[in-house]
Structure 1
Amino acid sequence: MNGNQSINVQTFINEHPFGRFQWLVFFMCFVIVLLDGFDTASIGFIAPALLTEWHLGKPDLAPVLSAALFGLACGALISGPLSDRLGRRSLLLSAVLLFGVACLGSAFAQTLGQLTALRFVTGIGLGAAMPNAVTLMGEFCPDRRRATIINLMFCGFPLGAAAGGFLAAWMIPHFGWRSVLVFGGVTPLVLAAVVAAKMPESVRFMVANAKPYERIQNTLARISTAAFDSQRFVLTEAASSDGGQGLGIVLSKRYIVGSVMLWLAYFMGLVIFYASINWMPILLKDAGLPLKSATLVSALFPLGGVGAVLSGMLMDRFNANRVIALCYGLTAVSVYAIGQAAGNMGALVAVIFLAGVLMNTAQSSMPALAAAFYPTAGRGTGVAWMLGIGRFGGIAGSFLVAELARRHFGFADIFATVAVAGAIACVGLLIKQWAGGQGAAVISATHQPHH
């Protein structure tokens, strides 16, 4: 190779195999998502013990259960623009430290108010960590495998939530409910030490933000030593017409329609997810199932997250917007079918599992879709705002079913209403596809060594 060549960073990543260094980044991001799932779900598992020990009624738990959801939304909305300004690595490290310390602190809470406040802070950390893990991972992926790898990483979330259930079932009788929060706090602090030592900054971010040439070269050289042959690094991609950053790009004329449709689809998906997860055991019991069966059948719903890897492969091969739109459309059909299957146990189990697979597949594919949609200068904000605004869908989903139940909607009518959200998400992604968004302007960042 001649010594005077310039390397296009993304082309370089595309041309080399996904090697040990990228798997290390993947592993760290996967564990962050896993802990996110564990910490988000942990409060639900310790809730029964809280009721007993603190002599509370069920309604008293509402603030604690929703505090983390509000924190998640705030953390995502604030952290996105910050990661586009300060970098992915420092933000990810701060977020992991924050949710580790807050979760550990909540193990020592003495009142419901203290626990609620600490859950909110834990939520802010979790809300900031998740989108940044997606963004960083996406920027180290070759284009042709990005959706598959991000979706694989996202499988950590349902795994973490499920592991939380099994661990809590074993830990609470032996060590009390506080032990679950101690575990959920200490583990991220150990991970933070690993992240501080091993996690690189995104190369695409460094080139786009004119970071020192040597840092870019040293990071790329861990993918392949061919990086040492280069005199300059460039990044060619769609840019905002005004050369803006963060939120300026996400809301710019070229991206605004796609942004709003991503928010809409993710919001509607979480309406279905939380409406089902929070209410299905109660609704099935009211429909005549014994409590134990109702609980076990409901547990099939979040299990469906494994379909995401297959969906990632399809997204890398076909039109990603249409692949996910189809999943949401089929989710709507299967959620509607849950309401029709009330009397038939076999059909009910099959339909709930199918709905869970389709719903979780669509939902966990959305971050990869957002990461591919935005350019580097706006990617952190784009992914984070979709996740942040979407979290309000989770809050809305829980209230929606409560309101429908208050108005005496029947089992079939409640699921028919919730199914509408899937249809809306499907249409939103088809509009995003139709509106386009990328293309045109090209930025080229050049870095040369200082002689």
Structure 2
Amino acid sequence: MDSKTLTASAGEAGHPGAIGDTGDIGEPAGTQPLSWYAEAGPRARRAFWSCKVGYMLDGMDTQMLSFVIPTLVATWGISLGDAGFIGTMTLLSSALGGWIAGILSDRIGRVRTLQLTVLWFAVFTGLCGLAQNYGQLLAARSLMGFGFGGEWTAGAVLIGEVIRARDRGKAVGLVQSGWAIGWGLAALLYAVLFSVMAPEIAWRALFLIGLVPALLVLVIRQYVKEPEVFEHAKAAQKDAQDTPRFTEIFSPKLLSTTLRAALLTTGAQGGYYAITTWLPTFLKTERHLTVMGTGGYLAMIIVGSYVGYLSSAWLTDRLGRKPNFILFAVGSMAIAFAYTSLPLTNGSMLWLGFPLGFFASGIFSGMGAFLTELFPTRVRGSGQGFCYNVGRAIGALFPVLIGALSKQFGLGPSIGMFAVAAYGVLIVAALTLPETRGRELESA
């Protein structure tokens, strides 16, 4: 990509006249992964960093529960089933929150919805640290999930609209990679706090640190503006007195796209939950491997996830949305087969953590850009919020179904069957949906 001097307005994605936005779906992406950032306008850069930091803090707050479950079991005497129910309720409430946030982002704006969701998940994460019993923790955590699901939707729509067409996949994928950084930060905070405090105090301190993201709202309020493509759409709606309705995503014009996009996200998230929820139990109880509980194995998965996010972000602009989804789906299938069918040692398990994180997480890098390009501006938030979070809600049921099926077929084969089925659904959905790489948002 040639170096150019850009004006602020030319750097705004989805805006007519943005440098590099030719609208040609086959237009190749830049050869330098970060050249898009050097050429982006200040408006796009501020949105990028606000969304990336938001995703990072979202990931940090969300992953905290997995680290403190053993302490809660020992301190409060709750069962693993009780702890698992908290996780399930968090996922289901996040699906509802993402759906509602999508509708709100079309009504009150992407930036305002982002502010509300960040503040919401931060406050309720902090309240988790003040919970005095299981019921209070369940309520606070469920409400926290409502905010973290909403933050993904608002952030994905915002960053997708401010970045120009040819670089949208890279930028949105880099924002998504903030999740892995937040996951690593949660692990680091856990290690530090539990080394200097008693466990019954440390878990509360960890959740209270989750209040920090609330400060990001001040930055967003001051520096981040609505995407120009959204402002133009709202102005046109006001002039025509034509308020968008959520139900438009089920109109004859969009229904097929909505259903196929929901199948795509169901496959990605169902496969992810099928692999990540039950693999540790399978490998520990049936293969008698111990490496899963080590910091080295967790670090390998987190690093693999981060590299997967970055690689997928670049590939989705280079190869196209559909080939990238299929590539990562096939890779995830192979990992599921390796974990459940091949004889593994602790050493091989440790190294397989990298491709597990790489493929299972990297597949999500292209999701935000693809959903952004599939829906028109007036209902983009509604469409994206509905499709992604229907997938999350259905995918959250996969661990329960695997547990039930394992009584008849065994845990390993059940994991494999559900993973193959989920990623198979994703591949079929991807093949039937249009390729959108390089699509101008006005033509969506």
Specify the TM-score bucket, using the shorter chain as the normaliser: 0.7 to 0.9
Q: Is the 8 A contact 1:266 1:386 kept in 2?
A: yes
Match of 2:220 in 1: 195
2:196 equivalent to 1:180:
no
2:271 equivalent to 1:272:
yes
Q: Give 1:413 shift.
A: 5.1
Q: Give 1:346 shift.
A: 5.7
Structure 1 residues 417, 123: closer, same or farther in 2, change over 3 A? closer
Deviations 1:332-387 (A, max 9, x none): 23322322213455655555533432222212321111112212112111221122
Deviations 1:400-448 (A, max 9, x none): 3312333351534532442221112111110113899x999979xxxxx
Deviations 1:73-125 (A, max 9, x none): 11011111111111111111111111122112221111111111111111111
Q: Is the 8 A contact 2:291 2:350 kept in 1?
A: no
2:364 equivalent to 1:363:
yes
Structure 1 residues 292, 316: closer, same or farther in 2, change over 3 A? closer
Q: Is the 8 A contact 1:336 1:415 kept in 2?
A: yes
Structure-to-structure mapping, 1:208-357, within 5 angstroms: 208-210=233-235, 245=244, 247-293=246-292, 297=297, 300-301=300-301, 303-305=303-305, 306-343=307-344, 348-349=349-350, 351=352, 353-357=354-358
Match of 2:184 in 1: 162
Match of 2:27 in 1: none
Q: Is the 8 A contact 2:55 2:179 kept in 1?
A: yes
Q: Is the 8 A contact 1:30 1:154 kept in 2?
A: yes
2:388 equivalent to 1:387:
yes
Structure 1 residues 442, 324: closer, same or farther in 2, change over 3 A? closer
Q: Give 1:148 shift.
A: 0.4
Q: Is the 8 A contact 1:328 1:422 kept in 2?
A: yes
2:16 equivalent to 1:11:
yes
What secondary structure does 1:364 align onto? coil
Q: Is the 8 A contact 1:302 1:356 kept in 2?
A: yes
Separation of aligned partners in 2, 1:163 and 1:271 = 25
Percent identity of paired positions between Structure 1 and Structure 2: 24
Deviations 1:176-215 (A, max 9, x none): 1111111112x111111111211212221111011899xx
Letter in 1 for 2:15: Q
2:118 equivalent to 1:117:
no
Which deviates further from its counterpart, 24-33 or 303-312? 303-312
In the superposition, the TM-score normalised over structure 2's length comes to: 0.83
Separation of aligned partners in 2, 1:327 and 1:442 = 28
State the aligned residue count: 406
Deviations 1:297-341 (A, max 9, x none): 476445433223332333223331232123213322332232221
Q: Is the 8 A contact 1:270 1:394 kept in 2?
A: yes
In the superposition, the TM-score normalised over structure 1's length comes to: 0.82
Separation of aligned partners in 2, 1:123 and 1:293 = 26
Which deviates further from its counterpart, 392-401 or 113-122? 392-401
2:167 equivalent to 1:142:
no
What secondary structure does 1:108 align onto? coil
Separation of aligned partners in 1, 2:288 and 2:130 = 38
RMSD of aligned alpha carbons:
3.0
Which deviates further from its counterpart, 29-38 or 396-405? 396-405
Q: Give 1:391 shift.
A: 1.4
Q: Give 1:244 shift.
A: 7.4
Structure 1 residues 414, 9: closer, same or farther in 2, change over 3 A? closer
Q: Give 1:147 shift.
A: 0.5
Separation of aligned partners in 2, 1:256 and 1:364 = 24
Match of 1:414 in 2: 415
Separation of aligned partners in 1, 2:92 and 2:412 = 29
Separation of aligned partners in 2, 1:297 and 1:168 = 16
Letter in 2 for 1:335: A
Structure 1 residues 364, 92: closer, same or farther in 2, change over 3 A? same
Separation of aligned partners in 1, 2:265 and 2:13 = 33
Tell me which of 49, 59, 62 is aligned to 2:84. 62
Q: Give 1:150 shift.
A: 0.2
Which deviates further from its counterpart, 38-47 or 255-264? 255-264
Separation of aligned partners in 2, 1:194 and 1:83 = 19
Separation of aligned partners in 1, 2:436 and 2:155 = 28
Q: Give 1:29 shift.
A: 0.6
Q: Is the 8 A contact 2:13 2:164 kept in 1?
A: no
Separation of aligned partners in 2, 1:262 and 1:390 = 9
Letter in 2 for 1:313: W
Separation of aligned partners in 2, 1:103 and 1:9 = 35
Q: Is the 8 A contact 1:284 1:294 kept in 2?
A: no
Structure 1 residues 427, 398: closer, same or farther in 2, change over 3 A? same
Q: Is the 8 A contact 1:107 1:178 kept in 2?
A: yes
Tell me which of 80, 96, 104 is aligned to 1:74. 96
Q: Is the 8 A contact 2:370 2:436 kept in 1?
A: no
**Please, which runs of 5 or more residues in structure 1 have no aligned partner?**
1-6, 214-242, 444-451
Separation of aligned partners in 2, 1:397 and 1:415 = 12
Structure 1 residues 300, 375: closer, same or farther in 2, change over 3 A? same
Which deviates further from its counterpart, 330-339 or 276-285? 330-339
Separation of aligned partners in 2, 1:302 and 1:369 = 24
Structure 1 residues 55, 244: closer, same or farther in 2, change over 3 A? same
Q: Is the 8 A contact 2:14 2:164 kept in 1?
A: no
Structure 1 residues 414, 8: closer, same or farther in 2, change over 3 A? closer
**Please, which runs of 5 or more residues in structure 2 have no aligned partner?**
1-11, 22-38
2:373 equivalent to 1:372:
yes
